Amino acid sequence: MIPTFADSLIIKEQLYPFTETRELIDIRIGILTIREKWERLSALRNVAELPKTAIPANLVPSLSFFDEFLTIPEQADLLASPNARFLNYPWDIFGLNDWAIREDFRLLVARRHSQPIPETVQTVKSTNIFVEEGASMQHCVLNASTGPIYIGKDAEVMEGAIIRGPFALGEGAVVKMGAKIYGATTVGPHCVVGGEIKNSVLFGYSNKAHDGYLGDSVIGEWCNLGAGTSNSNLRNTAANVKVWSKQQNGFVDAGLKCGLLMGDFSRSAINSSFNTGTVVGVGANYFTPGLSAKHIPSFSWGTEKYQFNKAIKDIGNWKKLKNQELSEKEIQTLQSIFEAAK
């Protein structure tokens, strides 16, 4: 069960490129999407009917906020709560991810027991680790002293991987051999990751399977970062990062650190180098040498524009690699984005 939502076109445009292909409530932050959080919270509290108070779709609920939502009638008082958190810009997704993983972990493990951790896995604070059924781990290191670690159903952590919480690995996702992952990182369902990752969120079905650095970044669904791809997350001058905004049609201040913000169905060639605070739209294929531009528009093909039919064929090929197919609804959405892209 989910509440009545109040959408905002301004907020939706501010969260470009991730709201080009999904509703605000389907953004993943922490372990779950916003929609999934509301459903899980309602089930945990066994709520038959939710209050009629309209909630901003960019509000990220927690157990504490949900309990207030059930008892506080005035929207203004509710939204002023210290337990209310909001996604106003794409960098808020990784900025709030430490808090969100901890909150989702608390929600998901309530009244449940973890699967046993294999003897070959080296752990720190194992009581802060939860393993779902079917997960596979051998000869890796899980350090949950800095935050909880959640290993999803049928996920795999290969030998030699070193993970520091807070960390979430989604259903069917894979951490490859020798990976180095710092909190607060979310690897969404059916993603494959390797190399070095820090404070980043991969929504689902995306790959960063090889060496290279991904930090303070958000990667949408069905993306692929070629081997050796790295991003900058801190300017050489240590000045604040400026990020391109669709809503402003210009650059806005994102704070001290911001890495790569990549929309769904986009890809990079091997050894790609993404500038600090780079925004990549939907369905782009980036293979330009040198440091990237700060904004790579949707359906870019290098420095040119993709042919739509070829883009759809290529995206379909990537989906087939994970036993999925493009739906007619997805094709219609992508065509609208293609036609609007400059």
Peptide bond into 166 cis (omega under 30): yes
pLDDT for res 182:
98
**CA of 292: how far to CAs of 117, 278, 295, in Å?**
42, 8, 8
The pLDDT score that the predictor gives to residue 5 is: 87
Q: Are strands 304-305 and 300-301 parallel, antiparallel or unpaired?
A: antiparallel
If one counts every other C-beta atom within 10 angstroms of the C-beta of residue 113, the result is 8
Q: How far is CA 10 from CA 174, 243, 264, 306, in A?
A: 36, 16, 20, 28
3-state secondary structure of 214: strand
Average pLDDT over residues 176-187: 97
Q: What is the pTM of this model?
A: 0.96
Closest Cα partner for 140 from 116, 165, 123, 128?
A: 123
CB 199, CB 182: distance < 8 Å: yes
Whether the ω angle into residue 184 lies within 30 degrees of 0, i.e. cis, is yes
289 Cβ partners below 8 Å, 6+ apart? none
pLDDT digits (tens, 9 = 90+) for 91-149: 999 999 999 999 999 999 998 999 999 999 999 999 999 999 999 999 999 999 999 99
High-pLDDT (> 70) share of the chain, %? 100
Domain ranges of the chain: 5-109
